[in-house]
Amino acid sequence: MHSFLEIHPEVQQALAEGRPVVALESTIIAHGMPYPQNVQTALAVEAVVKEAGAVPATIAILEGRCHVGLTPAQIDYLGQASGVWKVSLSDMPYVLSKKLLGATTVAATMRIASMAGLKIFVTGGTGGVHRGAETTMDISADLTEMAHTSVAVISAGVKSILDIGLTLEYMETKGIPVVTVGQDEFPSFYSRQSSFRSPLRVDTPDEIAALLHTKWNLGLNGAVLVANPVPANQEVPAAEIESCIHQALESAKKQHIRGKALTPFLLRYISEHTKGESLQANIALIRHNAQLGAEIANAFANISK
């Protein structure tokens, strides 16, 4: 297994010394945002993590190896390259064995983070149960991965391109604790509201660290999904996003977009049809998540001493 892992020396050293490390995904760089904002954001997010006293480790697949911690040059390369694979678990062996360039989804990033011994992972939004999944069976591997890989996932909730209600039900079935920070309602990425009550609520990074410690010491493997609502001044009004999402779903249906192409299609459509407003919110919320993730990583490192 380890012959496929390439852990950056700074990350390796931090792990050896029990210092906090924060894993970051790369699908958001290659498939979630346009260049150059994607690279600028990835670097800014790493800076936020460092500023908060943790070591960032952006994860991607390069030349047949799973890289845990990228150099700025590698991030820039990934952000500009064309034909980058979107790598979920089902694509991992193919992309590795063929030495292709791959950006990792939440599921693949979690698995690689876990192989390297990382426990805290920051992203923007995770995949989930798609609208219409009762007939398409389109359920993201992010959810099955969260069911058994013990990594905390810090997000801004899930976008309403998904069926949020079914996504929450699925996580309950799989035993994944879903905790929202500082409010009772589960957030929906661009918006602090979703009209769904969060299954659990916490108010501080220390509480989250204690929850993680307790869960894993009980032998309950799997993730905790931490939902961190987007800052109020960066929110996109729910009604505005909702109408755009309806158009995006209609357009996907007409063009027969399905499978792994669906999520990137919907994300691109929304970003192109909201005049950059959604991109600004996306950038703000991922930085906000990085700050919280680093604080949780610090708290968790202290508990684990």
- Residues annotated within the binding site are 86, 106, 138, 140-142
Q: Is 6 a catalytic residue?
A: no
Contact call for residue 138 and Mn ion (CB under 5 A)? yes
Contact call for residue 79 and ligand PSU (CB under 6 A)? no
| Whole-number Å distance between alpha carbons of 228 and 155 | 6
Residue 32 φ then ψ, to 5°: -105, -20
Fill in the per-residue mask, 3 to 42: x = in contact with ligand PSU (CB under 6 A), - = not in contact: ----------------------x-xx---x----------
Strand partners of residue 200: 179
How many Cβ atoms from other residues are within 10 Å of residue 18's Cβ?
11
Joined together, the tokens standing for residue 207 give: 């509480």
Fill in the per-residue mask, 92 to 131: x = in contact with Mn ion (CB under 5 A), - = not in contact: ----------------------------------------
Pick from 54, 92, 106, 299: which binds ligand PSU (CB under 6 A)? 106
Q: Which of 159, 185, 215, 260 is catalytic?
A: 159
DSSP 114-169: HHHT--EEE-S----BBTTHHHH--B-HHHHHHHH---EEEESB--TTB-HHHHHH
Fill in the per-residue mask, 262 to 301: x = in contact with Mn ion (CB under 5 A), - = not in contact: ----------------------------------------
| Whole-number Å distance between alpha carbons of 295 and 10 | 19
- Find where tokens 């906000």 sit: 288
Q: Are 241 and 277 in contact (CB under 8 A)?
A: no
Q: Is 172 a catalytic residue?
A: no
167 binds, among Mn ion, ligand PSU, none (CB under 5 to 8 A by kind): none
Which residues here bind ligand PSU, judged by CB under 6 A?
25, 27-28, 32, 88, 105-107, 124-127, 140-142, 159, 189, 260, 263, 267
